[in-house]
Chain A
Amino acid sequence: KQEVTQIPAALSVPEGENLVLNCSFTDSAIYNLQWFRQDPGKGLTSLLLIQSSQREQTSGRLNASLDKSSGRSTLYIAASQPGDSATYLCAVGGRGSQGNLIFGKGTKLSVKP
């Protein structure tokens, strides 16, 4: 059974710092991996989607990498801003799972001005 782990559970950094969020998964036979952002009391916003054949995806200050063989993904945030404060969730789509996602518990990020 696929399990997704995110470390750390919480992270506090000063504004302007570059940071890395980690995601690991136990079954490397994945179809894709997504990173989401969740603000308090809100739904999820998709940030980046990496297909299993890809190694990374970039959007603005965000860069996500995928290493299937080691079961790891990282989300790199450059020049962090207070507006980046949120919970970041990693989710894995398995082969034959009809698009269903297995989620990690998230990393709560706080960027201090």
Chain B
Amino acid sequence: DGGITQSPKYLFRKEGQNVTLSCEQNLNHDAMYWYRQDPGQGLRLIYYSQIVNDFQKGDIAEGYSVSREKKESFPLTVTSAQKNPTAFYLCASSSGQGYQPQHFGDGTRLSIL
């Protein structure tokens, strides 16, 4: 079955540590997105990528970094510069054409040790 796989499901970060969240899709979608969700809040866009080797900052990119070396993969690194990283992180993808529905993974919950 086609879909989006996020790993790990739960992740813990120590002070000063960078952590990387994985997102893989087998939908052959061009566009991929990272969102952050805080309790009782809507999703906020961190980064997005329309094509391989290109990505753009979203509304809350500070303290995060991404890469898009392969069409199917869009990892997100939460750096030590992100002072409030505790949140639920969701990855999504779409065909990028005609603004098709975005498909979402099951998320990674990041907490601070």
Which positions in A face B, CB cutoff 8 Å? Answer: 4, 31-32, 34, 36, 41-46, 49, 51, 89, 91, 93, 98-106
Contacts and interface: CB of A to CB of B under 8 A. Distances in A.
26 contacts: A4-B42, A32-B99, A42-B107, A43-B4, A43-B6, A43-B90, A43-B106, A43-B107, A44-B43, A44-B90, A44-B92, A44-B104, A45-B104, A46-B103, A91-B43, A93-B99, A98-B48, A98-B50, A98-B96, A99-B33, A99-B48, A100-B45, A100-B58, A101-B102, A105-B41, A106-B42
Contacts of B106: 42-43
Given A43-B90, A43-B107, A49 B101 contact: yes
Given A41-B107, A43-B105, A44-B104, A99 B42 contact: no
A31 B90 CA distance: 22
Contacts of B43: 44, 89, 91, 101, 103
Contacts of B42: 4, 89, 91, 102-106
Nearest to B56: A98
A101 B103 CA distance: 12
Contacts, number: 66
A49 B99 CA distance: 10
Interface residues of B, number: 29
B71 interface: no
B34 to A, nearest CB: 11
A34 B90 contact: no
